[in-house]
Amino acid sequence: MEKPVRIAAFYKFVPLPDYRDLRPALLDFCRALSVRGTILLASEGINGTIAGEQSAVESALSFLRADPRLADLLVKDSFHAVIPFGRMKVRLKREIVAMKAPGIDPRAGAGAYVEPEDWNRLIAEDDVLLLDARNDYEVRMGSFRASRNPETASFHELPLYMTRNLDPARHKRIAMFCTGGIRCEKASAFLLGRGFETVYQLRGGILHYLEKVKREDSLWEGECFVFDERVSLDHGLQKGGITICDDCKAVVKAEEEACPHCRSTNFL
């Protein structure tokens, strides 16, 4: 089936001291194109996912890249039959991903990027600790084999977990991953700032891995949670068959009529 809707995810850590002034024109431009989604603006940069007709999304991206600070904005694309967002939002935030750990600046030093094609080889090495930087309900939907689940309810809980459970004297090499890469930018910077010797991050996150690595070679198990109406994506970056209970955050399979944990029928 043809997938006419382009879904573009992007982020960049870059100083935007005028981020409040950027919002009105950006919001009006996207709305005029009938592009929908969410873009977060903060003094530390931009983070967003937008969807619409391919030409409209490309026009919105060109609008962003016209700002010299965003000229090299990298985008991860997927496609769907319908727009998985109800409206267009441009929100002003303190952080483009809320870690709530003052002083963390990925531009000053973050984990070494590992390309998806090299990821399997790295995480197979015995001295590498593989850390899933996502929330617990995301991990339970799918993850890499043998990865460690911090069992956090939100990203801002991850620094406390890493402080309590990771030791730079023992954990010499840490490889981390998240959905699109942005959470690992901050989490890896946090670890490096606390004396960890070698930290890696999967470039482009899980979505980039699922795009670049063949299914038969993949070490990914399950589906990948995404923050839009599709809820999950399979290895072909198509809408998956798993959702999340909106009441207890349990994983619910497509064939289940009620949450297996709390019996709610209120699904994402």
Answer with the residue of higher pLDDT: 200 or 247. 200
> Does residue 38 register a pLDDT over 90?
yes
Mean pLDDT of 171-192: 98
Tell me, yes or no, if the two domains 5-92 and 97-268 fold the same way. no
pLDDT in tens, 125-174: 999 999 999 999 999 999 999 999 999 999 999 999 999 999 999 999 99
CATH code 3.40.50.150 for 97-268: no
Q: For the domain 5-92, what is the CATH code? A: 3.30.70.100
Kindly name the residue from 178, 184, 224, 259 that is annotated as catalytic.
Answer: 178
**pLDDT of the residue at 2:** 59
Summarised one tens digit per residue, pLDDT across range 151-160 is 999 999 999 9
Residue 13 CA to residue 182 CA, distance in Å, equals 9
Domain edges within the chain: 5-92, 97-268
Q: How far is CA 158 from CA 2, 45, 244, 245, in A?
A: 39, 21, 21, 23
pLDDT at 3 over 80: no
**What is the average per-residue pLDDT within 5-16?**
97
Once rounded to an integer, what is the mean pLDDT over residues 105-118? Answer: 96
- Cβ(144)–Cβ(123) below 8 Å: yes
Which pLDDT value is given to residue 268? 66
* Confidence check: pLDDT of 57 > 90: yes
pLDDT of residue 1: 46
Q: Is 184 marked active-site?
A: no
pLDDT given at position 125 = 97
- Summary mean pLDDT of the chain: 94
